[in-house]
Amino acid sequence: MSHIVIDARESGTSTGRYVDKMIEFLHMLQPTHHFTIITKPSRVDYIRKVAPSFDVVETNVKEFTLAEQFQFKKEIEALKPDLVHFPMVQQPILYRGRVVTTMQDLTTIRFRNPVKNPVVFLAKQQIYKLINIRAAHKSWSLITPTDFVRHDVASYCHVPLEKITVTLEAADVMPAGSAPYAPVEGKPFIMYIGRPTPHKNLDRLIRAHQQLRQKYPDLLLVLAGKKDANYQLHEKTVQKNGYEGVIFTDFIPDDQFRWLLEHCEAYCFPSLSEGFGLPGLEAMLHGAPVVSSSATCLPEVYGDAAHYFNPYDISDMTHAIDDVLSSPELRKELIEKGYEQAKKYSWKRMAEQTLSVYEQTLGK
DSSP per residue, 110-149? H---TTS-HHHHHHHHHHHHHHHHHHHHH-SEEEESSHHH
Q: Rounded distance, CA 88 to CA 124, Å?
A: 16
Average pLDDT over residues 2-18: 94
Q: How confident is the model at residue 146 (pLDDT cuts 50, 70, 90)?
A: very high
231-241 pLDDT per residue, tens = 999 999 999 99
pLDDT of residue 86: 98
Q: How high is the pLDDT of residue 265?
A: 98
Helix (H, G, I), strand (E, B) or coil at 210: helix
Name, in order, each residue with C-beta under 8 angstroms of 344's C-beta and a sequence gap of 6 or more.
none
CB atoms within 10 A of CB 14: 12
Q: How far apart are the C-alpha atoms of 187 and 218, rounded to whole Å?
A: 7
* DSSP three-state, residue 249: coil
C-beta separation of 133 from 173 below 8 A: no
Mean pLDDT of 308-329: 98
Asked whether the predicted pLDDT for residue 291 surpasses 90, the reply is: yes
Residue 122 CB: number of other CB atoms within 10 A? 12
List every span in the chain annotated with CATH 3.40.50.2000: 3-170+346-362, 182-342
Q: CA 157, 159, 163 angle in degrees (round to 5)? A: 130
Tens digit of each residue's pLDDT (9 = 90 or more) over 31-89: 999 999 999 999 999 999 999 999 999 999 999 899 999 999 999 999 999 999 999 99
- Asked whether the predicted pLDDT for residue 147 surpasses 90, the reply is yes
Contact 95, 70 (CB under 8 A): no
Helix (H) or strand (E) holding 291: strand 290-293
CA 104 to chain centre: 8
DSSP symbol at 33: S
The mean pLDDT of 112-122, rounded to a whole number, is 83
The pLDDT assigned to 254 comes to 86
* Domain 3-170+346-362: CATH class, spelled out: alpha beta
Confidence of residue 325 (pLDDT cuts 50, 70, 90): very high
Tens of pLDDT, residues 170-211: 999 998 877 899 999 999 999 999 889 999 999 999 999 999
Residues across the chain: 364
- The β-bridge partners of 83 are 4
pLDDT of residue 231: 93
Q: What is the mean pLDDT of residues 276-285?
A: 96
Residue type for position 110 = R
Please give the average per-residue pLDDT across 20-30, as a whole number: 98
Backbone angles phi, psi at 160, to 5 degrees: -70, 145
Q: CA triplet 287, 185, 285: central angle to 5 degrees? A: 15
pLDDT at 192: 97
Single-letter code of the amino acid located at 57: V
Separation CA 170–CA 77 (nearest Å):
32
Q: What sign does the CA torsion over 299, 304, 306, 309 have?
A: positive
Fold of 182-342: Rossmann fold (3.40.50)
> Cα 321 to the chain's mean position, in Å?
23
Instruction: Report the DSSP beta bridge partners of residue 222.
Output: 191, 247
Q: Which pLDDT score is estimated for 170? A: 97
pLDDT in the model for residue 335 = 98
* 100 phi, psi to nearest 5 deg: -110, 130
**Distance between CA 331 and CA 340 in Å, rounded?**
15
What pLDDT sits at residue 278?
Answer: 95
| Separation CA 164–CA 106 (nearest Å) | 15
83-86 and 99-102 beta bridge pairing: parallel
Give percent of the chain above pLDDT 70: 100
Q: Report whether pLDDT(115) > 90.
A: no
Q: Determine what percent of the chain falls in helix, strand and coil, rounding each to the nearest 5.
A: 50, 15, 35
- Predicted pLDDT at 124: 84
The alpha-helical segments, DSSP class H, found in 214-346 are 229-241, 254-263, 278-285, 298-302, 314-326, 328-342
CA atoms within 13 A on the CB side of 165: 19
